[in-house]
Amino acid sequence: MNSEEKNSVGIVKPLDFSFGKTGGDALALDCGKRLFPVNIRYETYGQLNSGKNNAILIFHALSGDAHAAGYYSEESKKPGWWESMIGPGKAFDSDKYFIVCSNVIGGCSGSTGPRSINPETGKLYNMSFPVITIGDMAKAQYRLMIHLGIAKWLSIVGGSMGGMQALEWAVSYPDSVSSVIAIATTSRISPQSIAFNWVGREAIMNDPDWRNGEYGDKGPDKGLSIARMLGHITYLSDESMAQKFGRNLQNMKDYAFDFSHNFQVESYLRHQGQSFVERFDANSYLYISRAMDYFDLSENYDGDIDKAFSGVKSDFFVISFSSDWLFPPYQSKQIVSALRNRFLNVNYCNIDSIYGHDAFLLEVDVLSRLISDFIRNQFEKAKR
């Protein structure tokens, strides 16, 4: 931990909540199967107040986990993935709010997923793990909410896939959500995004070390690395890549006239792929990316997003970014239009940014101002 780090929640400890140990309380999945037992890895920051009206649920994106803020030890140099937004005096002020972040089911960071033990066989699930949806993730998180003794979230917040979960919650559990902050997200994934996910999964599944998902310590590292590199390109923008890398060469004065990484951008992507392999599981990537593919909030409402929001009771703050071409602003505007057609209270901001989809992690200053004001107003409303 950096001793000079200001306004950090400090040292945090991951927590676990398990249910369905005997099968009697199994999680009923959208695919028709039942999952048990189920473990949810989560972290909390701040304290739940006596009125239990200051709780905020944070959702992570595809490659994220429950470690959203703080450090695991004094020696740790890497904080949680949203450290810049969570902590004393920050947008999600841990002096005022009780903040919860959980790892999704299907993940590889403590929650039940394909590398968990299948109780029927005593072996790893691997590809026998049931296919999950964003709705299934919300069902598991709802169980965690009950376990924590929270009746209603002050706000639920997420970017990218996290925003999908937030929208799913607002529709599936309208009485449990006071407000929603949906950032750089969509109400249904586009054909282009499905295509990128497909190519990423193909890279993994065509790696000879994948072994139909039955790999050991040596997994499909090359395939997972390629999937990450492809995905990472979609998180950036042409302008941000031009500013960060240009056509600069990597440690050379002229072209090498070979197929090694000549350019800085190539070296950067290679590093991203290699570092991802060290912390993420290939099978989890398959399951979580497929869950994103299946996400369509209007699917059970005759394809009408307006109908999907017919029972929603939350206030909304929808945020998009001008250079995000993975989930472009028009998709956020469709959400806003549908919410307004239902006469719901919705704020919308399209932030001018060069950072592409990754802007929800990088545009800290503007996001902090917008979000802190919104949550403060929601908290004042909750106390009336």
CATH code of the domain covering residue 345: 3.40.50.1820
The answer to whether position 2 is within a domain reads no
Selecting among 8, 160, 176, 323, the annotated active-site residue is: 160
Residue in the structure block whose two tokens are 């701040």: 46
Same-domain status, 85 and 154:
yes
* Catalytic option among 63, 178, 357, 358: 357
Question: For the residues of 106-134, what is the DSSP string, one character each?
Answer: T-SSSSS-TTSEETTTTEE-GGGSPP--H
CATH of residue 258: 1.10.1740.110
Reported pTM: 0.96
Indicate if 310 and 379 belong to the same structural domain.
Answer: yes
Whether 155 is catalytic is no
Overall number of domains in the chain: 2
Amino acid 1: pLDDT: 63
Q: Same domain for 246 and 341?
A: no
User: How buried is 204 (Cβ within 10 angstroms: 0-12 exposed, 13-18 middle, 19+ buried)?
Assistant: buried
Q: Is the domain of 115 the same as that of 68?
A: yes
| Annotated catalytic residue, options 60, 324, 332, 353 | 324
Please tell me whether residues 121 and 164 are part of one structural domain: yes
Structural domain includes residue 6: no
Per the CB < 8 A criterion, the answer to whether 101 and 108 are in contact is no
Q: CA quadruple 368, 370, 371, 376: dihedral positive or negative? A: positive
Residue 357 is a catalytic residue: yes
Shared domain check, 233 and 153: no
41 lies in some domain = yes
In a domain, 69, yes or no: yes
Provide the residue-wise pLDDT of the chain in tens; the chain has 384 residues.
654 467 899 999 999 999 998 888 999 999 999 999 999 999 999 999 999 999 999 999 999 999 999 999 999 989 999 999 999 999 999 999 999 999 999 999 999 999 999 999 999 999 999 999 999 999 999 999 999 999 999 999 999 999 999 999 999 999 999 999 999 999 999 999 999 999 999 999 999 999 999 998 899 999 999 999 999 999 999 999 999 999 999 988 899 999 998 999 999 999 999 999 999 999 999 999 999 999 999 999 999 999 999 999 999 999 999 999 999 999 999 999 999 999 999 999 999 999 999 999 999 999 999 999 999 999 999 987
Q: Which domain holds residue 335?
A: 15-189+297-383
Residue 222 lies in a domain: yes
Contact 54, 96 (CB under 8 A): yes
Domain boundary among 241, 267, 287: 287
Q: Which of 265, 287, 309 corresponds to the end of one domain?
A: 287
Please tell me the predicted confidence (pLDDT) of residue 320: 98
63 and 98 share one domain: yes
Shared domain for 88 and 140, answered yes or no, is: yes
Shared-domain flag, residues 328 and 358: yes
Q: Is residue 1 part of a domain?
A: no
Does residue 5 lie within any of the structural domains? no
Q: Tell me: do 184 and 151 sit in the same domain.
A: yes
Beta-bridge mates of residue 123: 118
Question: Is residue 10, in this structure, part of any structural domain at all?
Answer: no
End of a domain among 260, 287, 314? 287
Give yes or no: residues 178 and 236 share one domain.
no
Residue 279 burial by CB count (10 A; 0-12/13-18/19+): exposed, middle or buried? exposed
Q: Active site includes 160?
A: yes
**Both 377 and 265 in a single domain?**
no
Contact assessment for residue 109 and residue 101, using Cβ atoms and an 8 Å cutoff: no
